[in-house]
Structure 1
Amino acid sequence: MRIAPIAPLLIGTFLLVSIEAYGNNGRVMYRYTDHQGVLVINDAIPPEYVPNGYEILTLTGRVVEVVAPQLSPEEYRAQLQLEAQREEDRKLLKRYNSIADIESARSRKLAIVEQDMAIMRSNIGSLRRQISQEEASAARTQRGGREVAPELLQRIADLQKEMEVLEERLNRRATEADTIGADFDKAVARYTELSAES
């Protein structure tokens, strides 16, 4: 039961430490530069000077905190870009252990794309042959003085449309392959830079 008086003493000690964190019973001074470039020390800082940054001092002149200037919109954007680049660098170094790893990943990814493109090229070739055969059939009908059946014309039109769709997909895949190559080129270049810095 004798322990009870210690609690208020401990609470009082914590409060004292908190109040005197900056010394001089919690009172502080501010050091900042005014619009004329003059260094000012005062017990308050006008709001218009806060964005420029300032220092918090004890009454004895000891600096206890430095508040950095507020970033301009351009500086803020630059900081965000720098943080984004650092995050990308972290992911790059976590994903790959060497340039050889990057090149191996490039080869695997491009191999998948090239396989898809090879299948599409084969299908386009098959469609071309079918169109050629159907058009030859239509030409023979016309040379025989007969009218080409609407079903045959529609079949040719459908085959041509299907081939156009495949050619468009093939072009997109080719562009994707170029993009993959460029992305891996950047990864290799950045990995080289980071390796040289470490």
Structure 2
Amino acid sequence: MSSGDKSIVIVARFLMVLALCWSGFYAVQAEAQSIYYRYPGPDGTVVIDTSVPPDAVPRGYDIIRLDGTVVKTIAPKLSEAERKARELEFGIEEARAAADAKTRKWDESLLLRYSNTQDIDVAKKRALNDIKVRISILKSNLSVIKQQVYSNQAEAAELERRGHKVPSELTDTLASLRRELTTTEQHITARQEELEQVATNYERDKARFADLQEQVELRRHYYAKPKK
């Protein structure tokens, strides 16, 4: 065999070995990319297979590669009781988060509006006085309306006593005055309830502000204390 032929044989063998190596590499890669399923068996053991039996699906499973890396996890299906318990838990967490957010907003508002509890007392007094003035005006209007009702009723009664027909205009006026009387009384009641609610709200703000001040003082003393 000539040297040229030998070279051709060597090259051919080299290419064959290289082809085999690449073929093995791709086979390993393909095998590594294969998908398997890992799920709990009915007896609590862990099963790895190429598919998940229908009866095992509700228990949840992992989609994995041959090297054990997890591609995706399918959570177990919850029972109706578990689902309701989870929804209740989430609802409680959401309500707690909403309450915390509301409290933070309230605290920020108090600290922006007031410097001390005396400021709250002044604001409370001013707000209550404003409501009391409105109640006083409503009561004055109520007194005037009542006098008009009494006057119109007396006029209608006198006409009837004399045997005269009460004019429709007078009847309509009386009906309108009575409606106005009822509305004014309702407004007075609403303002009185508002008076009590506003007083309660300011006292609540005052108590919360005092608590915030106390927390600030405690932090100040803590950070001012020399560290050993």
TM range (shorter): 0.5 to 0.7
**Judging changes above 3 Å, is the alpha-carbon distance between structure 1 residues 130 and 76 closer, same or farther for their aligned structure 2 residues?**
closer
Q: Which amino acid aligns with 2:173?
A: R
TM-score normalised to the size of structure 1?
0.61
Report the structure, 1 or 2, having the larger helix content.
2
Return the alpha-carbon distance in structure 2 between the equivalents of residues 96 and 191 of structure 1: 8
Alpha-carbon offset, residue 77 of structure 1 = 3.1
RMSD: 2.5
Return the alpha-carbon distance in structure 1 between the equivalents of residues 122 and 96 of structure 2: 33
Please point out which of 131, 143, 157 is paired with 1:139: 157
Alpha-carbon offset, residue 178 of structure 1 = 1.7
Alpha-carbon offset, residue 80 of structure 1 = 3.3
Q: What residue is the counterpart of 1:114 in the other structure?
A: 132
Q: Which amino acid aligns with 1:83?
A: A
Q: Which amino acid aligns with 1:196?
A: E
Alpha-carbon offset, residue 75 of structure 1 = 3.1
Instruction: State the identity %.
Output: 24
CA-to-aligned-CA distance 1:30-79 (integer Å, 9 cap, x gap): xxxxxxxxxxxx98697579xxxxxxxxxxxxxxxxxxxxxx52334323
Q: What residue is the counterpart of 1:193 in the other structure?
A: 211
Q: What residue is the counterpart of 1:178 in the other structure?
A: 196
CA-to-aligned-CA distance 1:11-38 (integer Å, 9 cap, x gap): xxxxxxxxxxxxxxxxxxxxxxxxxxxx
SS of 2:163's equivalent?
Answer: coil
Q: Which amino acid aligns with 2:141?
A: N
Q: Is 97-106 or 147-156 further displaced after alignment?
A: 147-156
SS of 2:166's equivalent?
Answer: coil
Q: What residue is the counterpart of 2:101 in the other structure?
A: 83
SS of 1:147's equivalent?
Answer: coil
Aligned residues: 137
Q: Is 79-88 or 162-171 further displaced after alignment?
A: 79-88
Q: Which amino acid aligns with 2:206?
A: V
Please point out which of 89, 92, 116 is paired with 1:98: 116
Point out 4+ residue stretches in structure 1 off by more than 3 angstroms: 42-49
Alpha-carbon offset, residue 153 of structure 1 = 1.4
Q: What residue is the counterpart of 1:164 in the other structure?
A: 182
Please point out which of 124, 133, 140 is paired with 2:142: 124
Q: What residue is the counterpart of 2:225 in the other structure?
A: none
- Gaps of at least 5 residues in structure 1 are 1-41, 50-71
**Judging changes above 3 Å, is the alpha-carbon distance between structure 1 residues 129 and 85 closer, same or farther for their aligned structure 2 residues?**
same
SS of 2:164's equivalent?
Answer: coil
TM-score normalised to the size of structure 2?
0.54
Q: What residue is the counterpart of 2:173 in the other structure?
A: 155
SS of 2:131's equivalent?
Answer: helix
- Gaps of at least 5 residues in structure 2 are 1-67, 76-88, 217-228
Q: Which amino acid aligns with 1:192?
A: A
